[in-house]
Chains A and B, each alone.
Chain A
Amino acid sequence: MELFVCIKRVPDSAAKIRVAADGKGIDPAGVEHVISPYDEIALEKAVQIKEAAGAGAVTVICFGPAEATKEIRQALAMGADKAIHLKDPGGARGPLGVARVLADNIRARKFDAILFGRQSIDGDNSAVGIIVAQLLGLPVVSLVTKLELKDGVGVAHREAEGGTEVVEVKLPAVFTAQRGLAEPRYPSIKGIMMAKKKPVEEILAPAPSGRLEIEKLSPPAERAAGKIVGEGKAAVPALVKLLRQEAKVI
């Protein structure tokens, strides 16, 4: 089983995010980066599938800056066998541009499945995995909570409104991981030591060709303080009035 997992380097969810001076990006000072958590889930699942099969390989693919070697090593320490680092030449990018870079690189390779996280925790677009599938002409199942790959067929459970949808697809296929699919492991000391020796293919990627351009980033507005209109039953009329006239929600 040849499994690809695409991982993205994102700011740690605990980091304090500030907009950079040019107003178009994030100020990198003091911001720790990590593998996007949903991508870690996808990676863990891929490693588990490979370990259970006792054969095959997990390749992580990362389109990211030179510093992403750190996240790539982390992924190798968590059990991936090799990595492809598509070095980001910089510049603006959107999901379509990134997906094109990934798809162009993946197209000529042999694989049974590509796993993504359902979304990255910085862009939150939930788009790249699905676009890659489209570009490669492959079936895609998103928000997967359970996955089995066997004999050229993938059976995926996905979250659907009010229930679970079970989808059967022919491999190769693309899957995007939802929370619950797997519990990412901590890299063991052995894994960390071995990661250094695993092969990383470095490729200078072309600048993404999407049409998205970031004009301006701004932090969300500070939330206004709440208002207490009164207590108990007596406050209800005033509250209803405010909800109607001011908040306009009822």
Chain B
Amino acid sequence: MPYEAPDFYGIDELLTEDERMIRDAVRGWVEDRVLPVISEHYLNGTFPTDLIPEMAELGLLGAGIDGYGCPGLGAVAYGLILQELERGDSGIRSFASVQGSLVMWPIRHYGSEEQRKRWLPALHKGEAIGCFGLTEPDHGSDPGGMETRAVKQGDRYVLNGAKMWITNGSMADVAVVWAKLDGVVRGFLVEKGTPGFLQRSMGKKFSLRASDTSELVLQDVAVPLGNLMPGVEGLRGPLNCLTQARAGIAWGVCGAAMACYDEARRYALQRTQFGKPIGQFQIIQGKLVEALAEITKMQLLNLRMGRIKEGGKVTPQQVSLAKRNGCHFALEIARTCRQILGANGITAEYQVMRHMCNLESVITYEGTHDIHTLILGHAITGLDAFR
């Protein structure tokens, strides 16, 4: 039985024809190319690199970037792409989010003209892969405490430090590395193969297994002065990138929740116990109703967030709320749906458990649930509870 994407409030009608066509193209591609292979990659802990050229061919990488050969899609169209990718797997969506929001976006907005020309077309075409190095072993929620340092020595910047949990880290051709230069956070472009730059896969994960999570070690890594991104200083550099990516995550997790809901609903109709389909029991119905209600709210929230983002007026706090809410309920839905599938729900024959495990990463990265609570608490009360 084919996938029936829940759209209880006719949100389709609020989309433009372009947006629907783009969404449907990605949905079809995920159905044909991602779903048949993703379980195997998940079990093996590998990223399906052969899908990168296909994503590029469709034009998905950095699709929200304007100029330099990129399509410059609006926030809703871009969000719908991520929703469909994460309906496949959070790892695929993470790849696209990092490439588009955390690598291409800062290069577009903070990079020099030379950096943009060099990297943006290549990243869009999938000829180069990027990663974003902010988190360190000892500094996650509090990136301002980072220890990675850059020092100017003649015509070079010399970087020392370590980054951890870096998506696309081991395969990246270019890393956006955040480091302190004279005590101020700055962004540097560090290329694969630069002496002293080590990119090492971290392995051994129970979550986001079809994704490259790596550490970056920088030991006296010397880069030309031209590799510093001139357009931003301070923590707002990486934080603005995160706002872009978090908006995409809010859309993405909705896709994962839609996949789980659709699978559980179908299963509930076809699985019989006590002489009737389990979907006829009130408890199962209640679970499906909760899931549908939360998905519908997420869809409306995302659409509104996208539209105000397109109008240039979205605040980081509005994005925090959508990221926080989306991850929380997507994870709840995945857990509930997994239970609806009983024992089958733990197998690789079905998607629910893979989504459920993935979402534990998604609720953690780009600001944990609690960190977003503090961001919103700060916005509401004016009182900073971080420290």
Interface residues of A (CB under 8 A from B): 14, 70, 73-74, 77, 186-190, 192-193, 196
Report whether B59 and A188 are in contact in the complex, using a CB–CB cutoff of 8 Å.
Answer: yes
For A196, the chain B residues whose CB sits under 8 A away are: 18
CB distance from A37 to the nearest CB of B (A): 12
Q: A14-B2, A192-B25, A193-B71 are in contact. Are A186 and B17 (CB under 8 A)?
A: no
CB distance from B68 to the nearest CB of A (A): 14
> B28 contacts the other chain (Cβ, under 8 Å)?
yes
A193 to B16, CA, bound (A): 12
> B174 contacts the other chain (Cβ, under 8 Å)?
no
User: At the interface, is chain A mostly helix, strand, loop or mixed?
Assistant: helix
For A186, the chain B residues whose CB sits under 8 A away are: 25-26, 28-29, 58
**Residue of chain B at shortest CB distance from A14:** B2
Report whether A192 and B18 are in contact in the complex, using a CB–CB cutoff of 8 Å.
Answer: yes
Q: Give 18 pairs: A residue, B residue, CB < 8 Å, sorted on A.
A: A73-B17, A73-B21, A77-B21, A186-B25, A186-B26, A186-B29, A187-B21, A188-B25, A188-B58, A189-B22, A189-B25, A189-B58, A189-B63, A189-B73, A190-B59, A192-B22, A193-B18, A196-B18
**Residue of chain A at shortest CB distance from B81:** A189
Report whether B59 and A189 are in contact in the complex, using a CB–CB cutoff of 8 Å.
Answer: yes
For A188, the chain B residues whose CB sits under 8 A away are: 25, 57-59
Report whether A189 and B60 are in contact in the complex, using a CB–CB cutoff of 8 Å.
Answer: yes
Supplied contacts A186-B26, A188-B25, 17 more A-B pairs, CB within 8 Å = A73-B17, A77-B25, A186-B25, A186-B28, A186-B29, A187-B25, A188-B58, A189-B60, A189-B63, A189-B71, A189-B73, A190-B59, A190-B71, A192-B18, A192-B21, A193-B18, A193-B71
CB distance from B16 to the nearest CB of A (A): 10
For B59, the chain A residues whose CB sits under 8 A away are: 188-190
A189 to B26, CA, bound (A): 9
Interface residues of B (CB under 8 A from A): 2, 17-18, 21-22, 25-26, 28-29, 57-60, 63, 71, 73
**Residue of chain B at shortest CB distance from A195:** B21
For A70, the chain B residues whose CB sits under 8 A away are: 17
For A193, the chain B residues whose CB sits under 8 A away are: 18, 71
A189 to B2, CA, bound (A): 24
A77 to B25, CA, bound (A): 10
**Residue of chain A at shortest CB distance from B28:** A186
When A and B form their complex, which 6 residue pairs have the shortest distance between CB atoms, in order from nearest? A189-B59, A14-B2, A186-B25, A188-B59, A189-B71, A192-B21
**Residue of chain A at shortest CB distance from B58:** A188
A187 to B22, CA, bound (A): 8
For A74, the chain B residues whose CB sits under 8 A away are: 21
**Residue of chain B at shortest CB distance from A184:** B28
For B63, the chain A residues whose CB sits under 8 A away are: 189
For B73, the chain A residues whose CB sits under 8 A away are: 189
For A189, the chain B residues whose CB sits under 8 A away are: 22, 25, 58-60, 63, 71, 73
A192 to B81, CA, bound (A): 14
For B71, the chain A residues whose CB sits under 8 A away are: 189-190, 193
CB distance from B223 to the nearest CB of A (A): 33
**Residue of chain B at shortest CB distance from A13:** B2
CB distance from B96 to the nearest CB of A (A): 13
A192 to B22, CA, bound (A): 7
A238 to B332, CA, bound (A): 55
A186 to B73, CA, bound (A): 18
**Residue of chain B at shortest CB distance from A12:** B2
CB distance from A75 to the nearest CB of B (A): 11
**Residue of chain A at shortest CB distance from B2:** A14
A112 to B387, CA, bound (A): 74
For B26, the chain A residues whose CB sits under 8 A away are: 186
For B18, the chain A residues whose CB sits under 8 A away are: 192-193, 196
CB distance from A66 to the nearest CB of B (A): 14
CB distance from B79 to the nearest CB of A (A): 14
For A14, the chain B residues whose CB sits under 8 A away are: 2
CB distance from B8 to the nearest CB of A (A): 14
A42 to B57, CA, bound (A): 21
A186 to B29, CA, bound (A): 7
A190 to B58, CA, bound (A): 8
**Residue of chain A at shortest CB distance from B54:** A186
A38 to B59, CA, bound (A): 25
**Residue of chain A at shortest CB distance from B32:** A186
A220 to B237, CA, bound (A): 64
**Residue of chain B at shortest CB distance from A196:** B18
**Residue of chain B at shortest CB distance from A193:** B71
A77 to B71, CA, bound (A): 14
**Residue of chain A at shortest CB distance from B71:** A189
CB distance from A30 to the nearest CB of B (A): 11
For A192, the chain B residues whose CB sits under 8 A away are: 18, 21-22, 25
A189 to B18, CA, bound (A): 9
A127 to B301, CA, bound (A): 49
For B28, the chain A residues whose CB sits under 8 A away are: 186
A193 to B73, CA, bound (A): 9
Taking each of A74, A187, A190, A192, which has the highest tally of chain B beta carbons within 10 Å of its own beta carbon? A192
**Residue of chain A at shortest CB distance from B26:** A186
**Residue of chain B at shortest CB distance from A77:** B21
A74 to B24, CA, bound (A): 11
A187 to B17, CA, bound (A): 13
A14 to B5, CA, bound (A): 13
A190 to B21, CA, bound (A): 12
**Residue of chain B at shortest CB distance from A32:** B24
A142 to B214, CA, bound (A): 54
CB distance from A192 to the nearest CB of B (A): 5
CB distance from A224 to the nearest CB of B (A): 21
A186 to B22, CA, bound (A): 10
**Residue of chain B at shortest CB distance from A15:** B2
A73 to B58, CA, bound (A): 17
